[in-house]
Amino acid sequence: MDIKQLQALLAIADHGSFSAAAKSLLTVQSNVSAHIQRLEGELGVTLVDRHDGSLTDEGEMVAQRARRVIHEIEDIDADIHSLGESPSGEARIGAIGTTGRWLMPLLLPEVSARHPNVHTTVFEGATNNLVLRINTGEIDAAIVHLPLSTNDYEITELFAEELVLIAHTKHVLSKKESISLKELAEHPILLAPRGTPLRRIVDRAAANEGVAMNALAEIDGVRLMTSLAFEGYGAAIVPASAIPGWLRGDFVRISVPGLPRRVVGWAQRHRPRPNRATLAVRDTLIDIVGRHADRQPGVTKDILPLTPRPVTKGRPTIGQV
């Protein structure tokens, strides 16, 4: 197999048909068809369904690895050509939505100013989905909720933020300024799904108090859960950054003293290491967090007392320097 065959397969995966793939590759449809036929012949399987242009299960499997191969080739070229100069190339990063909302408006302009030859692509998602994208090679690193369930990544802790209960002013709990986990367990609330980092924190804190949280519904997405709470569909435990300081409305913030703070960090793969462009974005991010984190309501750079420090290779984390 060769690179053109893999590029043809990825173009079909991204654009949904042979004709659209050919247009994206600036070639003719017969060339794309020939590349796919040769690749299928070498592998002995059908990769593309000719009826609707979708990839078969085998095609999806090959496409995942092909995307990683193509990214690595692009990164080799970018890294070599930027040696001794400002980093260049594609920085593919992910970010959880609540953190991205306040960090990206600061990060993206500064990356452009410092590194004009770096093109940043940002994928928003929940931590579990972003980790999956790192695993498949779709992205090289991500801003995620820590801790992760595996030690397969290099971790840089960035900041910690409070977890609070938010409720509509018409909610039964809206008159409270503070509530214990024991009392909160008596009320159905919106919760993150079981197994997610946020839910693990909440469940562990509740278990320490000898209670279990009562889920009105489980919502995979902090911003969606926050919006539902704003609209009065239930109270919800969310990180402080989910509630922008400028936001005003018919809702209240309620302190829950038994909850620890959430730690957010940068996760990148060990091998192959991210390209120079992605590492330049990481370094810019760390600098921005150092200057701006304490200005965000409920957010602090001081994370040393909150969590055991993971073994981290490469650049020291905040607090170690």
In tens, the pLDDT along 123-179 reads 999 888 899 889 888 898 999 988 887 778 899 999 999 999 999 999 999 999 999
At 184-205, the pLDDT tens digits run: 999 999 999 998 888 999 999 9
pLDDT of residue 28: 92
CATH number of the domain that 123 lies in?
A: 3.40.190.10
Residues 250 and 192 in one domain: yes
Q: Which domain holds residue 175?
A: 163-255
Residues 128 and 93 placed together within one structural domain of the fold:
yes
Same domain? 275 vs 156: yes
Same domain flag for 156 and 267: yes
What confidence score (pLDDT) does residue 190 get?
97
Closest Cα partner for 127 from 12, 234, 222, 260? Answer: 222
Question: What pTM was estimated for this model as a whole?
Answer: 0.71
The 3-state DSSP class for residue 293 equals helix
Q: Is residue 320 part of a domain?
A: no
- In order of 6, 93, 154, the CA distances from 11 in angstroms are 9, 21, 31
How would you classify residue 91: left for phi > 0, otherwise alpha for psi between -120 and 50, otherwise beta?
beta
The per-residue pLDDT for 314 is: 37
Residue 305 in any domain: the answer is: no
Specify which residues 262 forms β-bridges with. 161
Which CATH number does the domain housing residue 51 bear? 1.10.10.10
Do residues 89 and 277 lie in contact, with contact meaning Cβ atoms separated by under 8 Å? yes
Phi, psi for residue 155 in degrees, rounded to 5 = -115, 135
CB distance 268 to 278 below 8 Å = yes
Q: Which residues of 26-61 are buried (b: 16+ CB within 10 A; e: fewer)?
A: ebeeeebbebbeebbeeeeeebbeeeebebeeebee
Residue ranges for the chain with pLDDT beneath 70: 75, 78-79, 81-84, 245-247, 304-321
Residues 42 and 172 in one domain: no
CB 205 within 8 A of CB 197: no
Tally of domains within the chain:
3
Q: In the prediction, which pLDDT does 306 show?
A: 39
CA distance linking residue 238 with residue 135, whole number of Å: 27
